[in-house]
Structure 1
Amino acid sequence: MILPPDGTKACCVPGRGAVAGAAPAPMAQRAHPSVASVVVAIPGGQGTIGTDAPVFRADGEGPARRISLRPFRIDAQAVTNARFAAFVAGTGYRSDAERYGWSYVFRAFLPPGAAVESPPQTPWWAKVQGACWSAPEGPGSSTADRADHPVIHVSWNDAAAYAAWSGGRLPTEAEWEHAARGGDRKARFPWGADEPDDANAGHCNIWQGSFPQSNTAADGFAGTAPADSFAPNAYGLFNMCGNVWEWCADAFRVRSLSSMAKARNAVAASAGERVMKGGSYLCHESYCYRYRIAARTGHSPDTSAGHTGFRIAYDG
């Protein structure tokens, strides 16, 4: 795990770093009626990616850059458990978490004293055998009461396979940021500039309290929230920040000539890392302040965890 210069760590799990065996074969592209969703048309033109006020310089958040985009479309919500279940039912697809036999679960969601292994730098994560998209906390858990929540424990490989099957694709990082800003190039959050915190908890699903010891769940959710929770942004998109991290199409890279950036890029390239955006229900300003539009991170394409999902984009 690469840490920012100020020592602040990310809430994210360590990446797996290498694919176990060949990546799943991509599904044939086709629009499938069982995955119908609200799709929003995003105007093309000039936009902005990044920020001139980066919080984590090592992540490559800045500087702000002007971009030109063609019109495209994007799902109003992250892909839900119900939609992913339709994909699996129609294809027999096995996710990376299922192929590996485990995925990372937030330890607080497990029974006290559960005998599970944790990464040394992030002891709040637990490597749970049998955890996957359909059993988010491991054997005995299910998504029966979470059909409208975003699917989790999905890798970039899984997201790309679903996207191809559904007739779409993963958004680029530039498209994701452009859509999240809702037409306001200077927007810090999808809803504007209002800073969410432990008391001001009405904008998004993030952590409230002292991470990782105590979550007051002032926003109403300790884990994932339904994919259409909270107010949408000006384009009508839900939960572009908070709730779950979202995979993008791009390879992760820091645009800098510094020695730190070169080292980070070497690690990312060797693992084939892909960009993730938006932060999750585990983000808090005191620790993982990455629920900002410009914030970003990267992980290997076979990495999965209980706070990682995706949404689909489509050519205009």
Structure 2
Amino acid sequence: MSCCTPGSSRGGNSSDAAAVPGPTWRQNTTATASGETVQVPVPLAAGEFDMGDNFGEGYPADGETPVHRVALSAFLVDPTAVTNGEFAAFVDATGYVTDAERYGSSAVFHLALDPSDTAICGWAAHARWWLEVRGACWHRPEGPRSDIEGRRDHPVVHVSHRDALAYCAWAGKRLLTEAEWEYAARGGHEARRYPWGDALAPAGVHQCNIWHGRFPVHNTLEDGYLTTAPAKSFHRNDYGLWSMVGNVWEWCADWFSPHYYRRSPQQDPRGAPFGMARVMRGGSYLCHDSYCHRYRVAARSSNTPNSSSGNLGFRCAADDSSLSFGDPAAPQ
């Protein structure tokens, strides 16, 4: 979906992460060696829910229907997307080099970039608001003239599916399945359009970081942000999870198929057995109902696993049996 996140023409299959050594994930760990705090995961009990678009608002090619009953085993999920600070700790510990760094460029939204920047080396053919920028990567999100100072609590971006898997391997976690993601985003509620209800901005109060104004040329910044917001912005849903829609797209574990819901198993669905693209969920700061109404909890999108862009990140999960908990800590 080039309008959401531009697909990459890079060669090779980078969907499989190389083995990266690192510590296992421990609930009681509160800081890494670099001083970054570690997220306390939220335990979600096993349960059932109706997955898919209850409002008939999805794009046909995305395959948000039919609505179907899904049963999930208990699992754990991080309260926010992985932040720049957390990803920096991973890189400091392992020396990991992301796909964007290896390939030398990544996609940046045109209004986030200085128009005089000579690092621009191309644009997406069907979405010319996406510029390919030399040197753009997770710690240079708008290219070589930028950095993440003051944004260590923002979600990391410019990460491919392979990069997300490598972080998960190091941290002793995994990506959410698409079904787990939607279950978590709904926060225990059935048939809602958004995590908080059916109105986008109840009582005029913004609940997420999306585009306001005339896309893609003028953002009124009504919600306060042109690009990423801190990972703990706006309000948590009723499971204690932040920014499940808007802000950045989140990679999921599944291969994408627009027909998968027609044959999805009821118990712990894992997505199509193979494919060309991986599932993304949640929408981003660029979503606008004029072209991309994908900041709904049922909305789906996808991209090739070696793609990266300035609005694409990830959130981590773990199997319930992989950690030992007493009374779950309240989400921080």
State TM-score, norm by structure 2.
0.84
For the residues of structure 2 that align with 1:22 and 1:184, how far apart are their CA atoms?
A: 33
1:44 maps to 46
For the residues of structure 2 that align with 1:139 and 1:209, how far apart are their CA atoms?
A: 28
Given residue 183 of structure 2, which amino acid in structure 1 is its aligned partner?
H
Given residue 130 of structure 1, which amino acid in structure 2 is its aligned partner?
G
Unaligned runs of 5+ in 2: 263-272, 321-332
**Are the equivalent residues in 1 in contact too, given 2:64–2:261 (CA < 8 A)?**
no
Displacement of 1:189 = 0.6
**Are the equivalent residues in 2 in contact too, given 1:170–1:313 (CA < 8 A)?**
yes
1:265 maps to none
For the residues of structure 2 that align with 1:84 and 1:102, how far apart are their CA atoms?
A: 19
For the residues of structure 2 that align with 1:15 and 1:210, how far apart are their CA atoms?
A: 26
Given residue 58 of structure 1, which amino acid in structure 2 is its aligned partner?
A
Given residue 103 of structure 2, which amino acid in structure 1 is its aligned partner?
Y
Give runs of aligned pairs for residues 126-165 of structure 1, distance below 5 A: 126-165=131-170
- Give the match's secondary structure for 1:276: strand
1:31 maps to 24
Give runs of aligned pairs for residues 2-81 of structure 1, distance below 5 A: 10-16=3-9, 18-19=11-12, 24-28=17-21, 30-31=23-24, 33=29, 34=32, 36-52=38-54, 53-81=56-84
- Give the match's secondary structure for 1:124: strand
When residues 29 and 69 of structure 1 are mapped into structure 2, their CA distance, relative to the original with a 3 A threshold, is: farther
**Is 1:214 equivalent to 2:214 in the alignment?**
no
**Is 1:99 equivalent to 2:92 in the alignment?**
no
Per-residue Cα deviation, 1:194-238 (whole angstroms, up to 9, x for no partner): 1249x9451000000000010011001111000000010000100
2:185 maps to 180
For the residues of structure 2 that align with 1:22 and 1:252, how far apart are their CA atoms?
A: 13
Unaligned runs of 5+ in 1: 2-8, 259-267
* Segments of 4+ moved more than 4 angstroms: 20-24
**Are the equivalent residues in 1 in contact too, given 2:141–2:147 (CA < 8 A)?**
yes
- Give the match's secondary structure for 2:170: helix
Displacement of 1:28 = 4.1
When residues 292 and 15 of structure 1 are mapped into structure 2, their CA distance, relative to the original with a 3 A threshold, is: farther
- Give the match's secondary structure for 1:242: coil
**Are the equivalent residues in 1 in contact too, given 2:14–2:162 (CA < 8 A)?**
no
For the residues of structure 2 that align with 1:81 and 1:205, how far apart are their CA atoms?
A: 18
For the residues of structure 2 that align with 1:138 and 1:294, how far apart are their CA atoms?
A: 33
Select between 38-47 and 92-101 the one with higher mean Cα deviation: 38-47
Select between 212-221 and 18-27 the one with higher mean Cα deviation: 18-27
Query: 223, 230, 235: which one pairs with 2:234?
Result: 230
Per-residue Cα deviation, 1:239-291 (whole angstroms, up to 9, x for no partner): 00000000000001112799xxxxxxxxx9663x1100000000011111100
Per-residue Cα deviation, 1:105-132 (whole angstroms, up to 9, x for no partner): 0111111244521112111010000000
Using the aligned pairs only, state the percent identity: 48
**Is 1:192 equivalent to 2:185 in the alignment?**
no
For the residues of structure 2 that align with 1:141 and 1:31, how far apart are their CA atoms?
A: 32
**Are the equivalent residues in 2 in contact too, given 1:18–1:300 (CA < 8 A)?**
no
**Are the equivalent residues in 2 in contact too, given 1:201–1:218 (CA < 8 A)?**
no
**Is 1:292 equivalent to 2:285 in the alignment?**
no
When residues 43 and 87 of structure 1 are mapped into structure 2, their CA distance, relative to the original with a 3 A threshold, is: same
Given residue 290 of structure 2, which amino acid in structure 1 is its aligned partner?
S
For the residues of structure 2 that align with 1:99 and 1:172, how far apart are their CA atoms?
A: 27
* Cα RMSD for the two superposed structures: 2.3
When residues 201 and 125 of structure 1 are mapped into structure 2, their CA distance, relative to the original with a 3 A threshold, is: farther
**Is 1:239 equivalent to 2:232 in the alignment?**
no
For the residues of structure 2 that align with 1:195 and 1:233, how far apart are their CA atoms?
A: 14
**Are the equivalent residues in 2 in contact too, given 1:11–1:287 (CA < 8 A)?**
no
For the residues of structure 1 that align with 2:49 and 2:231, how far apart are their CA atoms?
A: 26
- Give the match's secondary structure for 2:139: coil
**Is 1:301 equivalent to 2:294 in the alignment?**
no
For the residues of structure 1 that align with 2:21 and 2:50, how far apart are their CA atoms?
A: 33
**Are the equivalent residues in 2 in contact too, given 1:118–1:127 (CA < 8 A)?**
yes
